[in-house]
Amino acid sequence: MILSSMVNLHVDLAALEHNYRQLRLLCEPPVKMLAVVKADAYGHGLLPVARTLARGGVDYLGVGSLEEGLALRQAGLTLPILLLLGIVPREAERAVAADLEVVLFRRDVAQALAAAARSQAKPAKAHLKVDTGMGRLGLLSGEVPEFLAGLREYRQLEVLGLISHLAVADEEDKAYTLKQLQEFTGLLAAVRGQGWALPLSHLSNSAALWELKEAHLDLVRPGLMLYGSPPSPRRPPPLTLKPVMTLATEVLQVKRLPPGSSISYGCTYTTRDWCDLAVLPVGYCNGYSRLLSNRGAALIRGRRAPIRGRVCMNLTMVEVTGIPGVKPGDRVTLLGQDQNERISAEELAAWADTISYEVYCLLGAANLRRYQGARDGEKTG
Ligand SMILES: Cc1ncc(COP(=O)(O)O)c(C=O)c1O
């Protein structure tokens, strides 16, 4: 992909490290922390993010694919790495060879892992996934004892723990989350009673790390809060989280339109008065959603400039009437702070009817990333 140098995504690794240290204060040793760096570290760049957190002392990394795990190993990271989506049987040899731990919920995968471990004369490590109410990956609790019993023949396959995922931990009402936790801990006690040690069992995401200490168990798995966003935008956590990602562009053209002029495809906005318009070289090909049409805003000279008309593939128009002196080349902040104004990922997400997770993933995937705050000269990734 060829990316435009007129649209720059900045990733502040010092802010990431700050957030990591804040999250560490929320859980007490011996609880371990797995940093979720799947999906290219939520769009922030897998390698720079993983290196920063590894240097900070994180215990584990969680990735979304075998390829992400292998990339971390090739970059020299030696931390335990968990493949959060598991693998398919054809990936077992490579996962074992690279010492990647696997989320497990399929018998054919268990068989493939055991075979790979035998042929490579080293253990394969798995975390057994239990669906306690997320309705996504995993065995139902009632299926776990029989599945585990079937693993006894695979001596080379070490089951390190049970893993589950919470569906609504970000909500204030914790009834459903506590039901999930109760089911998980009940199952854990039962299978431990059958002789499985399962020393590394876990189900806490950012929200549970923040608000549900009893769910921390052996390890917590934050993602979103590491990147500086609260799990629940309406209830910010009592921490100073710093935004890690910012997105900036520059004014490409400034023009003055007379009253009654239409702006952009579909003529969905018509000026009532004289309108000073700035044309920006950013659009939905940059992950800047078309749903921001006539809803979002950008920051220019510390002021909010509302989006007028539809966001196009490569261009977006904002009104700068009343903002003195705007000219081509002026810096435009699409996500981040300019003087006293700030557009957060949560605000951008609300305008586009989505969540900050998606904003980060889309912007991160589609723009040139520049790094600041790196400790050892690492610049891009
Ligand atoms: C299995 C699993 N654990 C942990 C997380 C981290 O969640 P959050 O980003 O809300 O902290 C995710 C993210 O979606 C996940 O899929």
Residue 265 annotated as catalytic: yes
pLDDT value, residue 378: 52
Residue 327 annotated as catalytic: no
- Condensed to tens digits (0 to 9), the pLDDT of residues 144-153 reads 999 999 999 9
Sign of CA dihedral 73, 79, 82, 88: positive
pLDDT > 70 in the chain, percent: 98
> Sorting pLDDT into bands at 50, 70 and 90, what band is 213?
very high
pLDDT over 50 at 209, yes or no: yes
Q: 56 CB less than 6 Å from ligand 1?
A: no
Strands (E), the chain: 8-12, 32-36, 60-63, 81-83, 100-104, 124-131, 139-140, 157-163, 219-220, 245-250, 253-257, 262-263, 269-270, 275-280, 297-300, 303-306, 316-319, 331-338, 341-343, 368-372
Q: 61 CB less than 6 Å from ligand 1?
A: no
pLDDT > 90 in the chain, percent: 96
> Sorting pLDDT into bands at 50, 70 and 90, what band is 309?
very high
Answer for the pair 252, 283: CB distance below 8 angstroms, yes or no. Answer: no
Pull the structure tokens for residue 193: 């009673």
Pull the structure tokens for residue 283: 């659009």
Pull the structure tokens for residue 277: 């318009």
pLDDT value, residue 119: 98
CA distance 68 to 334: 29
Answer for the pair 61, 81: CB distance below 8 angstroms, yes or no. Answer: yes
pLDDT over 90 at 48, yes or no: yes
- Condensed to tens digits (0 to 9), the pLDDT of residues 99-150 reads 999 999 999 999 999 999 999 999 999 999 999 999 999 999 999 999 999 9
Compute the CA torsion angle 348, 342, 286, 74 (nearest 10 deg): -100
Coil vs helix vs strand at 176: helix
Q: 87 CB less than 6 Å from ligand 1?
A: no
> Sorting pLDDT into bands at 50, 70 and 90, what band is 31?
very high
Ligand 1 centroid vs 340 CA: distance in angstroms? Answer: 32
Which of 38, 125, 129, 174 is the catalytic position? 38
pLDDT value, residue 376: 57
Cβ atoms within 10 Å of 353's Cβ, excluding its own? 10
Closest CA to 125 of 165, 96, 89: 96
The pTM score is 0.97
Answer for the pair 224, 204: CB distance below 8 angstroms, yes or no. Answer: no
Which stretches within 98-174 are classed as H helix?
107-120, 144-151
pLDDT value, residue 374: 80
Q: How far apart are the first and last CA of the chain?
A: 14
CA distance 371 to 374: 7
Q: 221 CB less than 6 Å from ligand 1?
A: yes
CA distance 57 to 40: 20
Local structure of residue 330 (DSSP, 8 states): -
Ligand 1 centroid vs 165 CA: distance in angstroms? Answer: 8
Q: Which residues pair with residue 35 across a beta bridge? A: 61
